[in-house]
Each structure stands twice: as C-alpha cells, then as structure tokens.
Amino acid sequence: MTYRAPTQDIRFVLKELADLDGVLALPGFEEVSEDLVDAVLQENARFVEQAIAPLNRAGDTTPAKWNDGAVTTSPGFKKAFAEFAQGGWQGLQHEQEWGGQGLPKLVGAAASENINAANLAFSLCPLLTDGVIEALAAVGTQEQQSRFIPPMLEGRWTGTMNLTEPQAGSDLAQVATRAVKQGDGAYRLSGQKIFITYGEHDMAENIVHLVLARTPDAPKGVKGISLFIVPKFLVNEDGSLGARNDVWCASLEHKLGIHGSPTAVLLYGSGKGEAGEGAVGYLVGEENRGLEYMFIMMNAARYAVGIQGIAVSERALQHAMAYAHERLQGQALEGSAGPVAIADHPDVQRMLLTMKSLTEGGRALAYVAAAACDKSRRHADPAVRAKNKAVYEYLVPIVKGFSTESSVEVASLGVQVHGGMGFIEETGAAQYYRDARILPIYEGTTAIQANDFVGRKILRDGGAVAQGLALEMQATVAQLEAAAARGGAGADGLALIARRLAAAVAAYESATGFVLSSAKDALRAVFLGSVPYLLLAGVVNAGWQLARAALVASQQADAGKGSDFYTQKLATSIFYAAHILPRAESLSIAVLEGGVASQYAGLAVHA
Amino acid sequence: MTYRAPTQDIRFVLKELADLDGVLALPGFEEVSEDLVDAVLQENARFVEQAIAPLNRAGDTTPAKWNDGAVTTSPGFKKAFAEFAQGGWQGLQHEQEWGGQGLPKLVGAAASENINAANLAFSLCPLLTDGVIEALAAVGTQEQQSRFIPPMLEGRWTGTMNLTEPQAGSDLAQVATRAVKQGDGAYRLSGQKIFITYGEHDMAENIVHLVLARTPDAPKGVKGISLFIVPKFLVNEDGSLGARNDVWCASLEHKLGIHGSPTAVLLYGSGKGEAGEGAVGYLVGEENRGLEYMFIMMNAARYAVGIQGIAVSERALQHAMAYAHERLQGQALEGSAGPVAIADHPDVQRMLLTMKSLTEGGRALAYVAAAACDKSRRHADPAVRAKNKAVYEYLVPIVKGFSTESSVEVASLGVQVHGGMGFIEETGAAQYYRDARILPIYEGTTAIQANDFVGRKILRDGGAVAQGLALEMQATVAQLEAAAARGGAGADGLALIARRLAAAVAAYESATGFVLSSAKDALRAVFLGSVPYLLLAGVVNAGWQLARAALVASQQADAGKGSDFYTQKLATSIFYAAHILPRAESLSIAVLEGGVASQYAGLAVHA
C-alpha cells in the first residue's frame, strides 16, 4: 500500500472539531446521516488507495505526451478517470438537481484530500472541473447549466480555468485575449493562454474551457474582462458533440513536478477548427464582469489547493514515517545493544512530528473552514450564515497560504528523514518535494493570498473576525489551564499548550493591531510583513485547532476511553505547541518591525 | 552571463569582517599580498564565469552516463576540468611543498564559493579531491604523499571518499567492507560502497579512493574501521599507471539534483581487475584509526559543503533578482500608470531580501570561520592558535548546518519569486531547488551536525566558546546603540539591529543554559531541540556578522564614503535583523520547551 487514507483522523476532525453534527443538521442535508458520511469516507478510501494511489509514480516518471496537438496522459490515468467518473466522485458535493450527491463541503473536503494525497497530478483534473461546475451553477444561464454541468458531473467532460497569458500572470489587468461578438450572439475568441492545467488530454470526450477575454470596446484593466465558455467540441442541441472548435494545444510545459498533469499552452483562434476561424465562446453572465465570476471558481480552487497542501503533506508524512520505522541506524540515545529504528532518534522524531503536526493542524483548520462554508450557505438563521460566511472567507487565504507553504516544508523534511536515500528518485520522497512546490504558486501565490487577507479580510472589517476568533482562542487557553490544573492525562502538556497558545494569540493580536493602525500611513510597512502575517494567522489558527484536539484527547483519556489515537493526538498537539506555535513570536516581530525595515527594503534590492 | 562572482561582497567580507590583514600577517603567508589576493579573486571570477558557469544547465539536463562500468560526464565537463587543472585551482590552498599555492583558507573559501555557485555538480569533484589531499597530507606516509598528492594537485588524478554502504549511512559502526593484509604489506578489499561522488568518471587519468574498511580481526563498531588508499589504477614506482585495480562502478544513481555529478555504486573485489581478485589498498596511518583520519577530510568537507550552501544561495539569488527586475506585473503599491517591475512589490522585496540576507550572512560567517582556521594553524602565539581552533571547530557545524538549510529556503524562494515560471524547468530556478536539497544531507545531515555541535562544541567545554562569542556580540550591540544614538546614516536601522541582536543573543544564551543544565538528566530534551539549537546559533552568529557589516557601512556613509554597495549592505542587514534574527526567539522557545515535549515525542511517532 503506497498510501492509506487517514480515515481515523478525518473522522476525529469532522466529529470533534468541525461540528459534523451541526453541519448534518443544516437544511438540505436531511438525508445525509453520519452513517452515510462514514460509508462515503470508507468507500472513498478504498477507491483512492486501490485505483488512484498506485498511479502516482507512473505519472511522475511518464508524463503526459504531446503529439500534434493531442495529449496522451500517463499510463493508467484514462482508466482511473473512468472509474472515478463511474463512482460518481465528481458529483460528491454538487447539487442533486444537476445529478450530484449534494454532500456537505465538509465531506467533500475529506474526499478531496484523499484523492489528492493519492495522486496530486491526477486529481487536478477533477479539482478544476469542480471549479467550472461551481462557477456555472452560480452564474450560468439555465441552458448553459443544463448543457454543460451534467456531462461534467458524470465525468464524460472535464473543465479548465484559462486566466494566465505570457504577459499576464498574477496581474490579470493585462489579459489580452480578444472576444468578438457574432451575429448569432456567440463570440469568437483569439489569443494565447498558458499554464492551463489539463487544457488538453485523452481522459474525457470534451473539455469545457472557462476563458477570460476582452471584448473590443471593453474598458482597460480588470474591469474590462469577460468570462466565456469555450468547449473543445461544440455541443449540439441534443447534447451530442459537434464541430471541433478553434482551440488547440500548442505544447506542454516541462515542469519541476506534477508531471502527470498536462500543463498546456492553448491557442485560441488559429483558424484550424471545423467551425471557422476564432474559437466559438459563450458569454457567462454579463460582459466585463468576468473577474468577479472567475473569483467564484478561484475561491473554490484556492480552498481546494489548500487541501492539496494537506494531501501532499499527509503522503510525504506516511512515506517518511514508514521509512523511519524500517531503517535501522545508530544506537538509542540511552544506549542499545544494536542499531535501532531511526524513528527512535530525537531529531528524527522532531522531523516526523513537525510533518505530522503541520499536516494535522492544517487539516483541522481546513475542515473547520469547510464547515463554516456549509453553514454560511445553508443555516436557517441569516445572522449565523453571515457570521460563518465571514469566518470562511477569512480562513480561505489562510488555508491556501499556510497549508501550501507547510507542504513544501513537510515534503522537504520528508526527504531529510530518508537521508541520502531521500535524494534518490526511486525512493519516492523527492517527488513530493517537487510536486509540493507548485502549491504556493498556482491559484494565487502566497503573496496574493496575503494581499487578499490583509486587504479584504482584515482591513475591510477592521479586524472584527480576527478579534472574534482571538476571543475564542483565549477561551480555549482558559479551558487548557483548567484542565492542566485538574491534573489528569497529559496535564503538563496541556499547560505547555496553554502557555504557548496564549503567547501566540498575543503575538497575533499585536501584529493585527500593527496592520490596522499602519494601513493608512505606512502601506509598505504592512505589505513587507503581509506574508509573515498570513503565516502567523495560519500558525495560530491551526495551533488553536490542535489545542482543541488536545482537550478532547485528554478528556477521553480521563474518561477511561484512552487509545493509541488519542495518545498520539495529544502528543502531536504538544509538539506543535512547543515547536511550531513559537513561530508566532518571530513572525509577529517581523510584522511589527515593518515600519523601519520597509524604509530600507527598496534600497537593498535596487542596484 | 549566467553567474557573476560577487567579488565586491567577497572583498568586503574578507577585509572588513574576516581580518584579511591579520591572516596575511600570519607566518607562512609572507609572500601573499592583498594585491595578490585581489588578483586571484579576479582571475577566479573570470575563469568560473566563462568556463564553468555556462555548463551548469547542461550538467542538469544531460547527466553523466554509465556504460559497462565506464562513466561519461556531462557535455563540456571534461574540457572544463582540464582548464581547471591547468589554472592550478586545485592547489590553491594546499602546501607549496606538494606543488600547491599555499594561500590562506580564507581565500580558498572565496574561490570555492565561486566555482560551486557556477556549477555545483562540477565542483564536487575538486571538493572531494581537496579532502583526500588534506587527509593524506595530514596522516599519509611521505611515500603516499609524494605518490598521490602531486598528481591530484595537478588535476591529473582526482579523489573520492568511500564511507557509505547500503546498511551504513550515518551509522559508520556498521561498515562491513573487508580488508585483508597480504604478504607484501598491501591489503585486498572487498565490499560495496554507495553514494560515491565522482566514484567513476572520464575527467582524470586516475581516481584515488579513500575507503573505510575492516580488517578480519578488527573490533566491532567504529573503533574497528581502518582507512585505505585504493587507486583505480595501481601506480608504478615511477608514478606511471599500472594494472587496473579491482574496483568497479556498478551503476549511477538517478537523483533529484546535481545531475552532472556522477554518484556511483562501487564494487570492491569482484575479481575483474588486472591485479587479481580484491582491490589492492594501502593502509593510511594505523589500523582501526580510520574514522579519526576520515574526520580530517570530513571536517574539511563539511566546511566546504557549508560553502556550497552559500554558493547555491548566491546563484539562486542572482537568478531571482534579475527576473524580478525584468518582469513587469501589477501596479506599484502607491499606484502607477502601468505595470512595474515585480522587484518593486513589497513581498517580492521580502523574498529577495530573505534570500540576499541569508546568503550574505552565511558568507560572512563562513569566511570569519576560515580566518579562524588560518589563525589556528599558523599564528605565532599558541594561545591565539588554541583560541582560534576552538572558535573554528565551534563554527564548522554551524556553517554546514545553517548555510545548507538556508540554501534550501533560499532556492525555494527563488522559485517563488518567478511565480508560475519558476516551476518550468527551462527557467532554471527549479534546478537550484533540486540541487540544494542534497546539501543538508551529505557529509553529515543537519542532525549529525547538531549532535557534533551539542556534544563536542557546547557540552565538552561547558559552553565556554559560545559564551565568549556572546560577550563579543553584546559589545557589538553596545556599538550599534552608540552609533544609533549619534544619529547619522541609518540610525533608526542600527537601533533596530541593536534591539533584535540583543534579543537574539539573550535567546541563544537561554537555550545554551538549558542545553548545559539538561545534558545530564534530560538528554532527550536536549536532542529534541538540537537542530533548532544549531540553527539558532546560525541565525545569531550570521546576524552578528551582518550587524558588524552594518556598522562598517554606516561609518563609511558618515565619513562621506557612501556608495550603493554600502547602502545595500546596511539595508540588507536591517532586513535580516527585522525578519531573520527574530527566528532566534522561536527557536529558543522550542529548545526550552524540550523538557515536557520530549516526554511525549516518542508516543506520537510510535503506533
């Protein structure tokens, strides 16, 4: 078994931290029982372990191949995607009205983690298809929805996001692809898009490209961008496939990682299609509101990439943990007759626990965010919906930024645990290190997440959400202190968590105060520290969730229901508090010193 | 130009921080003038920029190839090595009695950084040859020295270190290669060695393997290991090459990075040689003292790998800096008519300055260490020699551990600065990310450096060296405070450096106190934090050197000798103080919480 779904931890987080009960009680989830959720998670685990995970290395060693515009995916991918489609996995969290299963995002997040852990490169295809479905469901016409969504849910078609052009990466104001309206109401698109994940492949009958482009009279900048549906094959009235559209894959990129995922250069309007020159596209919503619509799928995709960070971390952790228990090297610190497993050495434990605690902390935080999303959509009380919407939107850039940056660290430690063997490609640890590196980049770099976080999630509400969460964290500190004072399971550890969490929350509040007070007069001071501030929020929020987990684990042990799982959870949380939470202090100082540092930063990079 | 030697910064560090004057005044360096050093550095820069750097990518894309035991190196490598040999670069810091140039290690360090930055994979060959020369010069017989050293200095032969076996990585007690004494006094070796860098190649006429092996009656463990010279071709009395020895390259590894460096599996004694079965080897020094001798070259190699960390960092920095100034994306934070260079964005500045300040801090620290090494060997006063020896040995694991861990972070940020382009292999940034990853592993993992640091450099002298350096750092803090109080160039920045350095030194002293007081009763508590403690020492020591640099830069500006270089140096030092030095606080907390955390760590990794 190359990967085993962490079902026990997933269940623990769902039930003990992310309020699965509360989510299942929401209007619309009446038919979703806890038993059903358990069954879905079990079946999901079985499927990805058996059908998807074994293809991970083949995707790395045998990347997708381009030949005259056609792309052949890695060995086994096409068959696996058919099984994925047949299992109904694409529809897991989409509405039943389109043929989906309508499960909570909370459950979808867990399933998404598993498949991404099993095979990151493979899973990008359904990930992007999810985003296209979500965007069309939100802003497509009913005709667009009924024409395009069901085939995607069935896994017959897949979807892509087309934002980037060579001159327009993070800066979408520079998008130059043209869209000219035709007499029939459709548009003809021409231009070049790059970095299009699964922009061409052989796993589906059709590909639904969502494309940002400009109409001839559109305003400059991001306010002149419109969103279009451009199918690879045009779709007849009866849903059957028609003429080949004028969108072509010019080449695939040669990448550091995720080799199994074809990253396409797409040419629109090169004149080779069966439907005449210019790619036929259909406007989504209104002209010039494309960026707004794209953000619907961007937000879903950003959250999903955060989940990918947790997924790669879990996979790297499992690989390193297995090796550390197999590999015999060196005597025990206290002396031993012969070599011991390296998992017995303190620094290997430090590495494994850094990996494990970052992974489990990131997971807990992301699932709590998913629950907030479910409540923001379905709770009966508008005030509860609004509160959860604010919390979810606050957490999305944290989940994306923190989990993906963590995944690079975790995968790097995974290599290190293997020693020299980690550097040998056949070992497999290096793949995660290469794969993880894209995660802090695509769907908005960490800096873009930090801009969103500071600008829209902190400054816009004057830090209200942040402050509300800080109060809840302080309540958790008080609970930890009380539990520690009572003695019982892990009391000294709970006390450690309490003091470190209290210090971290204080550090976060200081930094938030600085951001709020400096935004008006010292914007560079704020933004020199915006990524440290975002990561600080991640360190503290994930630490808070692990602190809550430690309380549960300690209570279970006190109640005589202790188990290896609870022991490990408590110990992992204690480690996080000792080794990861203290990062809050240094990150906070970096933010707070921004006033002076930002006056010199520009001088140091300009020759 | 793919790489430009950072000659201005190297000169600054040599003269202002590493006491080049004092080093050149040492006995034995009478003929080495500052002009000569400058000339060597200039010629070195010209050579590596023109002859070595352009081969870096070819080494990555066209790795060395194995065919029936023979290894063909990457395109251009053989010719470049001939030019390297002809230029006399192998002999730079070796004794003149063997044909070397006898320059200080301080100068050798700079030359070594340049060639490693130009091409890490290429430079591993001379790096290991240096180690073999150093070991033979120290413990070889005169006959061994005169037979093997001059051809290596001339670049006709190269050298390797053979430690690792499949079952014996970091744990050399498990070395099993056998060496049986023959009637003629030579030994016959049999066994398998792995991970042998440049263990086979086509760049030199002969290869001198230094091999750890066990005689039949040797004691178990590390006290039964002996060191042998095993040449690929036996050497006749007149120095000409004789029979092909029974050592063969069975295969090359497929690695994450440094593709241009052939990593060999070597078989000793498979019976195919022209000199009969068993590889003919010559004992170095006495039987069973091999590990002690190997440490002579290990220490040189560890320092050299630290230099490699700085080298890769510098290369990644130059790549990212150039891109950040070329790439136009987004408006200026304060608003702008059109897109600006991304180097203008605060978070790109943060990334570039993290890269730059870690690189320059690591360089300053490593060169100061080299100067201490020179003084420890040559100073007329035995007390000064002893003091410098202690300082150098204290700094070696820091230079190795801190610079190499930093290089992974720096190379990762280098990818991030490039955004999506960073993930495309053709961009080149990804190569540094892959190459750097071996540096915290080979020649002793970071954990091994931390063990050495805690066990031999802190506990053995009761923290005396650490304490002595802390006093010097506090003196620097006082100088910074005085300079800040005087006003003048960068006064607010100097004040920032002063407060952050003071806090970091205090954090380091707390952690040192914990290590010293816990070593007896809580060894696991110490070693759960040994890597954080080592990195803490690195953060503080490098920060101290940058603080000294800031003082010089500020003084120059006050004296009307300001320049872009000094402005940048001051600004870079301020950034390090604001963003990197605060890591001291969090690392120190992780060490200090070791008492409780270590009681739970084992529980969390054992199922």
Domain count within chain B: 2
Residue B224 has pLDDT above 90, yes or no: yes
- Percent of chain A scored above 90 by pLDDT? 93
Say which CATH number the domain at B61 has: 2.40.110.20
Q: Is the pLDDT of residue B276 over 90?
A: no
- The verdict on residue B198 lying in a domain is yes
Lookup: tokens for B394: 């204290």
Catalytic residues of B: 443
User: Annotated catalytic, A205?
Assistant: no
The pLDDT assigned to B452 comes to 96
pLDDT at position A606 = 79
Is residue A574 situated within a structural domain? yes
Nearest to B530 among A253, A347, A496 (CB): A347
CA-wise closest residue to A225 among A243, A240, A211: A211
Q: Is the pLDDT of residue A144 over 90?
A: yes
B164 CB neighbours in chain A (<8 A) are 420
Q: Pick from B430, B532, B590: which is nearest to A256 by CB?
A: B430
pLDDT at B37 over 90: yes
Residues of B in contact with A445 (CB under 8 A): 416, 419
* B206 close to A (CB below 8 A): no
Whether B264 is covered by a domain: the verdict is yes
Residues B545-559: tens digit of each pLDDT: 999 999 999 999 888
pLDDT of the residue at A561? 82
Domain-ending residue, one of B242, B271, B290: B290
> Residue B560's pLDDT is what?
86
Confidence of residue A489 (pLDDT cuts 50, 70, 90): confident
| Residue A352 · residue A317 · CB < 8 Å | yes
Where b means 16+ CB within 10 Å and e means fewer, B578-605 reads bbbbbbbbbbbbbbbbbbbbbbbbbbbb
> Do A106 and A20 meet the contact criterion of CB atoms below 8 Å apart?
yes
Helix axes B491-518, A594-605, angle to 10 degrees: 110
CA distance B546 to B360: 8
Q: Give ∠ CA B40-B43-B45 in degrees, rounded to 5.
A: 105
CA distance A585 to B461: 31
N-term to C-term CA, chain A: 54
Q: Would you place residue B562 in the very low, low, confident or very high pLDDT band (cuts 50, 70, 90)? A: confident
Domain span at B470: 445-607
State yes or no: pLDDT of A501 exceeds 70: yes
Kindly report, residue by residue over A284-335, the tens digit of the pLDDT: 999 999 999 988 788 889 999 999 999 999 999 999 999 999 999 999 999 9
- Do B585 and A589 lie within an 8 Å CB cutoff? yes
Q: Quick one: pLDDT band at residue A1, thresholds 50, 70, 90? A: low
List the Cα angle B302/B305/B307 in 5-degree steps.
Answer: 115
Given B266, B290, B314, which residue is the final one in a domain?
B290
Main-chain phi, psi angles of B194, to 5 degrees: -125, 165
Question: Given CB atoms, is B445 within the 8 Å cutoff of chain A?
Answer: yes
- Measured between CB atoms, which of B353, B423, B531 is closest to A604? B353
Partners of A344 on chain B (C-beta within 8 Å) are 602
Which SS3 state, helix, strand or coil, does residue A460 take?
A: coil
Q: Identify all chain B residues contacting A415, using CB atoms and an 8 Å cutoff.
A: 256, 437, 441
Among the listed residues A186, A176, A162, A173, the one whose alpha carbon sits nearest the alpha carbon of residue A247: A162
Q: Check residue B1 and give its pLDDT.
A: 67
Q: How far apart are CA B407 and CA B413, in angstroms?
A: 10
What mean pLDDT value characterizes chain B? 96
Does B239 reside within a domain?
Answer: yes
B295 has a pLDDT exceeding 90: no
Question: Is pLDDT at A483 greater than 90 in this prediction?
Answer: yes
Chosen domain end from B290, B305, B330? B290
Residue B453 inside a domain? The answer is yes
| Residue B267 falls inside a structural domain | yes
Q: Mean pLDDT of all residues in chain A? A: 96
Q: How far, CA to CA in Å, does A549 sit from each of A589, B137, B274, B309?
A: 28, 59, 67, 39
Question: Inter-chain contact B346–A598, Cβ cutoff 8 Å?
Answer: yes
Closest Cβ opposite residue A603 in set B451, B567, B593: B567
pLDDT band at A607 (very low <50, low <70, confident <90, very high): low
Averaged pLDDT, A335-340:
91
Q: Which residues of B touch A446 (CB under 8 A)?
A: 416
How many other CB atoms sit within 10 Å of the CB of residue A187?
24
Query: Residue A139 has what pLDDT?
Result: 95
pLDDT per position as a tens digit, A33-44: 999 999 999 999
Q: Is B195 on the interface with A (CB under 8 A)?
A: yes
Task: Classify residue A565: in a domain, yes or no.
Answer: yes
Is there a domain that residue A568 lies in? yes
* Segment B100-112, tens digit of pLDDT: 999 999 999 999 9
The set of long-range contacts for A174-177, using a CB threshold of 8 Å and a minimum separation of 24, is A174/B329, A174/B339, A175/A212, A175/A213, A175/A214, A175/A225, A176/A214, A177/A211, A177/A212, A177/A213, A177/A214, A177/A268
Give the 3-state DSSP-derived string for B80-146, with helices as H, strands as E and coil as C.
Answer: HHHHHHHCCHHHCCCCHHHCCCCCCHHHHHHHHHHHHHHCHHHHHHHHHHHHHHHHHHHHCCHHHHH
The span from the CA of B131 to the CA of B135, in Å, is 6
The answer to whether the CB atoms of B419 and A349 lie below 8 A apart is no
Whole-number Å distance between alpha carbons of B266 and B246: 10
Q: How far is A318 from chain B (nearest CA, A)?
A: 11
**Given CB atoms, is B169 within the 8 Å cutoff of chain A?**
yes
Q: Using pLDDT thresholds of 50, 70 and 90, give the confidence band for residue A413.
A: very high
pLDDT of amino acid B607: 59
CB contact at 8 A, B106 and B23:
yes
Region B450-463: mean pLDDT is 96
**pLDDT computed for residue A169 by the predictor:** 83
* Three-state DSSP state, A280: strand
Q: Say what the pLDDT of residue B561 is.
A: 82
> Is B185 an 8 Å CB contact of chain A?
no
Contacting B residues, span 448-477, partner chain A, CB-CB under 8 Å: 450-451
With a pLDDT cut of 70, the percent of chain B lying above it is 100
- Whether the CB-CB separation of B3 and B48 falls below 8 Å is answered with yes
pLDDT at B280 (0 to 100):
97
Asked if residue B356 has pLDDT above 80, the reply is yes
CB contact under 8 A, B605 and A324: yes
